[in-house]
Amino acid sequence: MTSILIKGATILTMREEDEPFAGDILIADGRIAAIAPAVEAAADETIHAQGMVAMPGLINAHQHSAMTLLRGFSDDLKLMDWLEKKMLPAEERMDSEDIYWGAQLAMAEMIRSGTTAFADMYIRMDTIAAAVQESGMRASLARGLVFLQDDGGRRMQEAIDLVDKWSGAANGRITTMLGPHAPYTCPPEPLSEVIELARTRGIPIHIHLAETREEIGKIREKYGQTPTEYLYHLGMFDKTHVLLAHGVHLTRRDIGCLRGMRGGIAHNPVSNLKLGCGIAPVAEMAAQGLTVGLGTDGAGSATTLDMFAEIKAAAWLQKVNHGDPTQLPAKRALQMATIDSARLLGIDGQVGTLEEGKRADVILIDLQKPHLQPVHNLYALLAYSATGADVDTTIVDGRILMRNRQLLTIPEEELFRQVSQRVPRLVAGL
């Protein structure tokens, strides 16, 4: 494996105790071998990074990658109209090849905007896993499970097969979860089976929670509980690691039910804003010791997979919601997109901060641009001014996936050709 020496960068480790410093990073055998103000070592490749920031790759804690094919197709609609009249009918037309190229499109966008790992929930996950393996990215994959109709256990078997086939694949870059879709699509009996399977086999769970007021009403009417209480009484939070997507409409009692849970909440501010869902109580969750990371949701709702947009939205929403500009400061917002999201995926021992011994998931951000000068507070500059287009280099597991804004593992010309040919069939007449 090629060794890389990054020289002269401004380094943000994203560890709580560290401040930015000028230095070098040596990458060898896919790991960070040394990180210091000066590293003198031979390497196969040297990147001269003066004027750039080196930081951990961003981690998208919740999305649906193949939804990129439906970007901009159904905007400015209410969530249920968006879902039932547009998204679901179009998704039913997708075959494995469509999903493969949709996932490739998502990964091209993520690599270009500094995302190195993501959590995905979708269908035909074998094809997405293959795309992850080829792209060089890191991902936690879950087969979405909806139990409103009896399918003879087909979906559940596909979920188990995904775990058995892909856990630890691609040199450990691929991990897996079980993906019950949401409380309102998963009745108690099959959901209890998923929870028990997760417990006995040590498999994390990835599930949507409390995204809309409609969901709250449905669960209250059916079970006399909030969605969070519904999951709590089934034992989900005391038996396994759980990644909860959204958590927009959580009561104080709900947050209390989540205290001490393994995993946490993936906040998706852009999607929640765009669909008019509401503002998640991020400050309140954090105050109770819950881990809150960041995700984009699918491009069908969020439109963009640029995690820098989520960082901005997350910080600004908490400030305006509380009428307090000190809420969710810049460094915390960046930590949500790095180490906190890594905790949600259960990979914080490997990535999320720049430390010797961790896997080398590193991005370089070019500061030599008018909107990124001068540099007073680097955290604030990155959180509030930077965009994904400022990422110059993306490295995952010690492999360069993008250099000087050029993708090295995804053939863009063929990608765009495939997408343009496939999309018309998916949306015709909808």
Angstrom CA distances, 151 to 147, 155, 220, 419, stand at: 8, 7, 26, 31
User: Encoding tokens for residue 221?
Assistant: 């009417």
Rounded to whole angstroms, the Cα distance separating 224 from 319 reads: 33
387: phi > 0 → left, psi -120 to 50 → alpha, else beta; which?
beta
pLDDT of residue 81: 85
DSSP per residue, 224-267? SS-HHHHHHHTTGGGTS-EEEEE--S--HHHHHHHTT-SEEEEE
Neighbour-count burial of 202, counting CB atoms closer than 10 A to its CB (0-12 exposed, 13-18 middle, 19+ buried): exposed
**Collapsing DSSP states into helix, strand and coil, what is residue 305?**
coil
pLDDT of residue 149: 82
Rounded to whole angstroms, the Cα distance separating 335 from 354 reads: 12
Rounded to whole angstroms, the Cα distance separating 136 from 307 reads: 19
Rounded to whole angstroms, the Cα distance separating 203 from 156 reads: 14
User: From the first residue on, what is the mean pLDDT of each consecutive set of 10 residues in the chain (430 residues)?
Assistant: 96 97 98 98 97 99 97 86 88 96 98 98 97 98 92 90 98 98 96 97 98 94 97 94 98 97 98 94 96 96 96 98 97 98 98 98 98 98 98 98 98 97 95
Rounded to whole angstroms, the Cα distance separating 278 from 398 reads: 39
Rounded to whole angstroms, the Cα distance separating 118 from 160 reads: 20
> Nearest Cα to 360, choosing from 404, 409, 393?
393
Rounded to whole angstroms, the Cα distance separating 102 from 69 reads: 6
User: Encoding tokens for residue 393?
Assistant: 């280099």
pLDDT of residue 74: 86
Q: Are 178 and 204 in contact (CB under 8 A)?
A: yes
Residue with tokens 């060089």: 136
Residues contacting residue 200 through CB under 8 Å, at least 6 positions apart: none
| Dihedral sign of CA atoms 182, 186, 187, 189 in order | negative
pLDDT of residue 331: 98
Q: Are 35 and 11 in contact (CB under 8 A)?
A: yes
Rounded to whole angstroms, the Cα distance separating 210 from 316 reads: 21
> Nearest Cα to 254, choosing from 288, 223, 221, 279?
288
Residues contacting residue 298 through CB under 8 Å, at least 6 positions apart: 63, 64, 65, 67, 68, 70, 271
Does this model's pTM top 0.75? My answer is yes
Angstrom CA distances, 254 to 6, 119, 241, stand at: 45, 24, 17
DSSP 278: -
All structural domains of the chain, each given as residue ranges with its CATH number in brackets, are 4-56+353-407 (2.30.40.10), 58-345 (3.20.20.140)
Residue with tokens 């009918």: 89
Residues contacting residue 295 through CB under 8 Å, at least 6 positions apart: 60, 61, 62, 63, 118, 119, 245, 266, 267, 268, 310, 341
Angstrom CA distances, 376 to 28, 108, 308, 319, stand at: 33, 32, 19, 21
User: Encoding tokens for residue 101?
Assistant: 């190229």
Rounded to whole angstroms, the Cα distance separating 351 from 339 reads: 7
